[in-house]
Amino acid sequence: MRHRKKEFILIMGERLKPYGFKGMGRNYCYYQVEEWGFKRFCLGSTSYIEGFGVGAGAGIRFNALEALTMNSPEYSMHRKIDEQTSSIGGRLFSIAGEGEDIYYVTKPEGFDIALEKVMWHFTEHALPFFEKYSDLETAYQMLRRDDQEARFYSILTHVRACNAVGAAILLEKSKKEIHDLIAEKKAWMVEYDNKFDLNRFNEFLERIKDKL
């Protein structure tokens, strides 16, 4: 079954085309490019002797937000700076509550089952995610939180905090709201003794202090 991995990827690409997603870049990712950035659906794929495994993830990039927050090599320790970086996103299998991040295809009958499951994740989870969070205001309201949903779509604490502040600036929120947001984010990191993320957040705030 291992030799059918490429076939799987090609079929998924064809199934995504009617939704306006086209393959480009690397890592088996399919994009819908917008004026403000892009929506991305990615297939994570691994090979084994007996077959292959496939996962799925969705991401949204706001170009203006990335330009504001991703302008430092120090800040990019965990996220490579390039035109394919997503601002928010996550693994779709996790949000579906399935536990597993990968479907394993080791037998012929598993090929079509995996195709249908991945496509189901696209229509049932990726599309609603794109529709809801392609609006920067809605994304901001999520990023300013630190609950389970926010951690799912922005797993790194300092990245979530920086993006929240960046979005607030782009949305022209009041100085008071931005300062209150910064205080809330710092308090959350201090509560959980998260010194690494706090230091990264402070570095970001220092870089954009003229906008605060």
Question: 3-state secondary structure string, the chain?
Answer: CHHHHHHHHHHHHHHHHHHCCEECCCCCEEEEEECCEEEEEEEEEEEECCEEEEEEEEEEEEHHHHHHHCCCCCHHHCCCCCCCCCCEEEEHHHHCCCCCCCEEECCHHHHHHHHHHHHHHHHHHHHHHHHHHCCHHHHHHHHCCCCHHHHHHCCCHHHHHHHHHHHHHHCCCCHHHHHHHHHHHHHHHHHCCCHHHHHHHHHHHHHCHHHC
pLDDT at site 100: 61
Could you identify the residue written with the tokens 């003794």?
Answer: 193
d(CA 175, CA 122): 38
The domain of 40 spans 2-133
pTM of the shown model: 0.89
**120 and 180 belong to one structural domain:** no
pLDDT at site 172: 98
**112 and 200 belong to one structural domain:** no
Q: Domain tally for the chain?
A: 2
pLDDT at site 73: 46
**71 and 141 belong to one structural domain:** no
Q: Which amino acid is at 130?
A: F
Domain end among 111, 133, 155:
133
Name the nearest CA neighbour of 117 among 133, 130, 89, 98.
Answer: 98
pLDDT at site 78: 45
All residue ranges of the chain with pLDDT < 50 are 72-81
Name the nearest CA neighbour of 53 among 80, 85, 93.
Answer: 93
pLDDT at site 74: 45
Q: Which token pair is 62?
A: 């706001």
Domain end among 133, 164, 179:
133
**90 and 144 belong to one structural domain:** no
**161 and 176 belong to one structural domain:** yes
**97 and 157 belong to one structural domain:** no
